[in-house]
Copies of this chain bind each other. A is one copy, B any other.
């Protein structure tokens, strides 16, 4: 059966880990299409993995299975889960990795994956990506119905995914949620939601001692020496600089507080 399984992990690409998962999948379903999202999530950074997944899972065909393994609790009592949203499946550890999915799709439901008959016969305590999650994703791609893997649960671990607070003075408080490969600093401010609130007024964004007022339509008209704001490809406001790293320019890091002042 021609299905897609994507892979997102914190395994890096220098070890055999990702290949072992793919081998295990291909033994069960040689026809599957495998697509790497990334394997460079910072080790154990569940939130960062969830964020990156949330930016692209919906770009894949309906029915795609997203296999995500950032799993500091591997081998412990943390549950393995299978999440079904409107169009997609998600397989991975129950540690908040799919919080963004639940946030977007209120009908998404989770199952505790317990049917060990779908796992690898020999199960390590350090690599459930290979021994539990990959075989489950593979069986799912073969058409095994979700209910076969375990019962529904109503308490999957959920992290707070939104970081936007309104002050009485009208300021909007948020944070840097991601810094991308180019050094663009992605904020927690969703442009679509903010736009209504701004109602045509200009914005001013503060990060540390830096104040940014330019909101540009594309990189080319932006400055190559001063930071500017731009609506990024995930629909979030980003701090950028043309042909350079805004993170380096403004000295920003993930988690830094930002304040948006309309008017």
From B4, B40, B74, B180, contact of A30 by CB (8 A): B4
Interface pair A55/B14, CB less than 8 Å apart: no
Take A38-B16, A125-B217, A126-B218 as given contacts and tell me if A61 and B23 are in contact as well, using a CB distance cutoff of 8 Å.
Answer: yes
A242 CB to closest chain B CB (Å) equals 8
Interface pair A19/B37, CB less than 8 Å apart: yes
A246 CB to closest chain B CB (Å) equals 12
In chain B, what residue has the closest Cβ to A42? B14
Interface pair A59/B181, CB less than 8 Å apart: no
Give the size range of A's interface with the partner: 35 or more
Interface residue? A2 (CB, 8 A):
yes
In the bound complex, residues from chain B placing their C-beta under 8 Å from that of A74 are: 218-219
Interface pair A72/B219, CB less than 8 Å apart: yes
Q: A124-B231, A125-B231, A127-B232 are in contact. List 5 more A-B contacts (CB 8 A).
A: A14-B38, A24-B59, A26-B60, A44-B243, A75-B218
Question: 29 A–B contact pairs at CB < 8 A?
Answer: A2-B31, A13-B40, A14-B38, A14-B41, A15-B38, A15-B55, A16-B37, A17-B180, A17-B181, A17-B233, A19-B36, A19-B56, A22-B35, A23-B35, A23-B59, A24-B59, A26-B33, A26-B60, A72-B243, A73-B220, A74-B218, A74-B219, A76-B219, A76-B220, A124-B233, A125-B217, A125-B230, A126-B238, A127-B232
Take A124-B233, A221-B76 as given contacts and tell me if A30 and B2 are in contact as well, using a CB distance cutoff of 8 Å.
Answer: yes
Mark A residues whose CB is within 8 Å of B.
Answer: 2, 4, 6, 11-17, 19-20, 22-24, 26-27, 30-31, 33-41, 43-44, 52-53, 55-56, 59-61, 64, 72-76, 78, 124-127, 130-131, 180-182, 217-221, 230-234, 238, 242-243
In the bound complex, residues from chain B placing their C-beta under 8 Å from that of A232 are: 124, 126-127
In the bound complex, residues from chain B placing their C-beta under 8 Å from that of A64 are: 23
In the bound complex, residues from chain B placing their C-beta under 8 Å from that of A238 are: 126
Interface pair B43/A182, CB less than 8 Å apart: yes
| Separation of A11 and B39 alpha carbons in the complex (Å) | 14
A234 CB to closest chain B CB (Å) equals 8
From B16, B75, B125, contact of A52 by CB (8 A): B16
In the bound complex, residues from chain B placing their C-beta under 8 Å from that of A4 are: 26, 30
A87 CB to closest chain B CB (Å) equals 11
In the bound complex, residues from chain B placing their C-beta under 8 Å from that of A73 are: 219-220
| Separation of A170 and B142 alpha carbons in the complex (Å) | 51
A47 CB to closest chain B CB (Å) equals 14
Interface pair B61/A130, CB less than 8 Å apart: no
